[in-house]
Amino acid sequence: MNYGEAFNKMGISGMGHIGAPWCGFAPDGVMVMMAHKNFFHKEEGRYVYDDKGNLGEIEHSASARKSIELLVSYFQPNRPIRLLVGEFSDDGGVEANGKIRGASFLRSSGDFYEATMVSVERTSGAIKCACTSKSEV
């Protein structure tokens, strides 16, 4: 399913167009974020989401800056968040000519994790969350 459809099923409209942020608020006030499938892993017997951000290597787009600011302003340790699992055709990276290329969104898996926030870093956009359960939209 596409980005906008997945957010809409979670009660968040207006997502999925160019320039839209990758997080927003569900009707119950909990933030929902499109989370990169490759950044989930098991740690101490449970799933965590650990996105290292861009480590200061590239300038963020306007939508990414808006998303990071939303995450930073929402952040409190152990605050609930829903992580909508996004599949990407590639993880981005550094090309042979040194140019930084962002990840390319492919689709939403249709799954999401209920989680709690562990940390968010304002400059790079790094975020870590501890997952508590997995569901379908």
3-state DSSP assignment of residue 102: coil
Nearest to 103, CA basis, from 124, 87, 83:
87
Residue 18: the pLDDT is: 77
Residue 77: the pLDDT is: 95
Residue 124: the pLDDT is: 78
Distances in Å between the Cα of 71 and the Cα atoms of 76, 93, 97, 98, 102 are: 10, 23, 32, 29, 19
The domain locations on the chain are 1-12+30-53+82-106
pLDDT tens string for the chain (137 positions)? 888 899 999 999 988 787 788 899 999 999 999 999 999 999 999 999 999 876 544 556 777 788 889 999 999 999 999 999 999 887 766 677 766 666 778 889 999 999 999 999 888 788 999 999 999 99
**Local structure of residue 37 (DSSP, 8 states):** G
Residue 57: the pLDDT is: 47
Answer yes or no: are the C-beta atoms of 40 and 85 closer than 8 Å: yes
Answer yes or no: are the C-beta atoms of 37 and 109 closer than 8 Å: yes
